[in-house]
Amino acid sequence: MEDYHKPDQQTVQALRNIANRLRINSIKATTAAGSGHPTSCCSVAEIMSVLFFHTMKYRYDDPRNFNNDRFILSKGHAAPALYSMWVEAGFLKESELLSLCHVDSTLEGHPTPKQQFVDLATGSLGQGLGVACGMAYTGKYFDKSSYRVYCLVGDGEMSEGAVWEAMSFASYYQLDNLVAIMDVNRLGQSDPAPLQHHVEKYQKRCEAFGWHAIIVDGHSVEELCKALSQPRHQPTAIIAKTIKGKGIPAAEDKLGWHAKPLPKDMADMVMKDLQSRIMNSSKHLYPSAPIEDAPPVSLRNIRMPSAPSYKAGEKIATRKAYGMALAKLGRYNERVVALDGDTNNLTYSEIFKNEHPNRFVECYIAQQNMVSVAMGCAARERNVVFASTLASFFTRAYDQLRMAAISESNINLCGSHCGLSTGEEGPSLMGLEDVAMFRALPTATIFYPSDGVSTEKAVELAATTKGVCYIRTSRQDSAIIYNSNEDFHVGQAKVVYQSKEDQVTLVAAGVTLHEALAAAEHLKKERISVRVIDPFTIKPLDAKTIIDHSRATRGRIITVEDHYYEGGLGEAVSSAMVNESGFNLHRLAVSHVPRSGKPQELLKIYGIDRDAIAQAVRKMLSSSTNAK
């Protein structure tokens, strides 16, 4: 600490004044809104003051400058405290705080990227530190820059396993540019946090996870300045002992005040008292300018250098085609990075890893953290990020995926081993809910490629498609059905089998597309002609192509999917046709929890193989004949 310069008394007083103004503004905003968490804001006042006006280096007039230090408010319910800091910095007007939670305001109850100073949405607790890990990893290993990442975490969210996944990740990768500040204010929503004010227990846990942990009085400006100025050789945890509701006498360290704005008369009295504590100071504090050593990055023109090189009839699993496509994309685009959850030899992201080891991030079996790290790596458009694991494992990270959508994050995810085709591994590893899960996300695009060519095109398109992109891949080999020069677009289906005499339209993807094509060949021998459509993307669905071609087959349409009935391809087609008349739609899907077995056996047992498809066609035509 030889190089530590203790702040002079004027600076200390100015920081205390900023902290009390933060309390006043947070109380004023939440009382005006009739909503919010003033007591949670009051416990972090000194922490925020020291961070924003003594420690962090950033351009206050350009919050998303890529050289700036990053700040993540993991305890998102303290949003008014964050907004107050940007009032203090001059980026927001004080009057704007009174619009908190208004339907036409950009200042929401929890932080969202509607504001330039918010990189990613928080509020669903336990996720901020994982995002901060992604930003810190990018800063240290991809940008190789000086900016630091600060994450303010609440003690209540320390019960979330995702926090400890992030702690483990940060120490493993020696993220010495990452600082977590823990607001240990003792009280949660309805009860005290499990460790209450036993800060030494937090310290031991953080140290056990490989962090340098420092205990401070979270209301002492001097202690915070000193702790945040320490040199770092590993990730640092500042364990700040604070009082919830500090500065509000009736609510200090008392249960029952969480998420409760103060009544106006009480607010006026408290704000008057806090105002009296603000001492005249001739010193006006400004944030330090950042070191400008982050490289400029452009994510435009991310594309494949050449067409796919597969030959007709060649066989390859779409999961392997994903790995090959990703490695190819990475060959010509240095900001393409890949993450995996200890499944890279199953998802075939190992091909990328072997070619581009410095741009591959192993996240181990911590899928929630992997998605958060992906969001952090993608923030401020620093990288094009692909993260892969088994399709079934993304269910564990669904809250992170939901927050990625709210955050307007651009991340690409690949789920392999989808559906029954996982076979002998059994139902615990079969992704049969994944399409439903991603369809429910407003910003999601779902690619379901059926061969090597369409998989490579899906990877290329995902790299430039905004929002959360999901690529669904299968375990076993399947034949190439597309020419290498075939053009693919998001939301554009492909008619892969047709004639003028077609009587039924089949819509299928992935494994079941190949079953539908086999059924079509078989039915042809019976002089029954069917049309086969590959949707390519399940969301957005090419409803026009499906409807137009179904009309050509007299409204007869059958969907086939390696997924549960609920929320999958069949329901997507049903939704698209809900206002259309004259259609006879039949769905084939997995009806209940399956079992282990050979993939082809399982497709047969659960009624989605070529024989089941052919029988469904015959039955539909027979019903039409009988109806006549």
Name which of 256, 252, 288 is nearest 270 in CA terms: 252
Evaluate if residue 3 carries a pLDDT over 70: no
Average pLDDT over residues 544-559: 98
- Give the DSSP letter string of 4-25: --PPPHHHHHHHHHHHHHHHHH
φ, ψ of residue 152 in degrees (nearest 5): -95, 120
Evaluate if residue 1 carries a pLDDT over 50: no
Quote the pLDDT of residue 626: 73
> In angstroms, rounded to a whole number, what is the distance separating the alpha carbons of residues 329 and 457?
11
Q: Which two tokens stand for residue 392?
A: 């079934």
> In angstroms, rounded to a whole number, what is the distance separating the alpha carbons of residues 610 and 600?
10
Average pLDDT over residues 297-303: 94
> In angstroms, rounded to a whole number, what is the distance separating the alpha carbons of residues 569 and 587?
9
> In angstroms, rounded to a whole number, what is the distance separating the alpha carbons of residues 562 and 580?
26
> In angstroms, rounded to a whole number, what is the distance separating the alpha carbons of residues 57 and 66?
12
> In angstroms, rounded to a whole number, what is the distance separating the alpha carbons of residues 381 and 399?
22
Q: Are the C-beta atoms of 264 and 31 separated by less than 8 Å?
A: yes
Average pLDDT over residues 227-235: 94
Average pLDDT over residues 243-263: 98
- Give the DSSP letter string of 477-502: EEE--S-TT----TT--EEEE--TT-
b/e sequence 30-60, b meaning 16+ C-beta within 10 Å: bbbbeebbbbbbbbbbbbbbbbbbbbbebbb
- Give the DSSP letter string of 121-149: ---STT-HHHHHHHHHHIIIIIS--S--E
Which residues does residue 389 pair with via DSSP β-bridges, in sequence order? 415
Quote the pLDDT of residue 2: 47
> In angstroms, rounded to a whole number, what is the distance separating the alpha carbons of residues 511 and 508?
8
Among the residue ranges 56-60, 280-284, 330-334, 509-513, the one predicted with the least confidence is 280-284
Pairing mode, strands 236-241 and 178-184: parallel
**For the whole model, what pTM was predicted?**
0.97
Hey, is 320 helix, strand or coil?
helix
Hey, is 587 helix, strand or coil?
strand
What percent of the chain clears pLDDT 90, i.e. is strictly above it?
96
b/e sequence 256-269, b meaning 16+ C-beta within 10 Å: ebbeebbeeebbee
Split at pLDDT 50, 70, 90, the class of 584 is very high
Split at pLDDT 50, 70, 90, the class of 593 is very high
List, for residues 79-103, the tens digit of each pLDDT value. Answer: 999 999 999 999 999 999 999 999 9
Split at pLDDT 50, 70, 90, the class of 625 is confident
> In angstroms, rounded to a whole number, what is the distance separating the alpha carbons of residues 261 and 474?
51
> In angstroms, rounded to a whole number, what is the distance separating the alpha carbons of residues 506 and 187?
58
Query: How far from chain centre, in Å, is Cα 51?
Result: 26
- Give the DSSP letter string of 227-272: HHTS--SS-EEEEEE--TTTT-TTTTT-TT-TT-PPPHHHHHHHHH
Which residues does residue 385 pair with via DSSP β-bridges, in sequence order? 337
Q: Are the C-beta atoms of 41 and 307 separated by less than 8 Å?
A: no
- Give the DSSP letter string of 151-174: EEEESGGGGSHHHHHHHHHHHHTT
Q: Are the C-beta atoms of 598 and 423 separated by less than 8 Å?
A: yes
Tokens 């001739």, residue located: 282
Which residues does residue 586 pair with via DSSP β-bridges, in sequence order? 558
List, for residues 415-427, the tens digit of each pLDDT value. Answer: 999 999 889 999 9
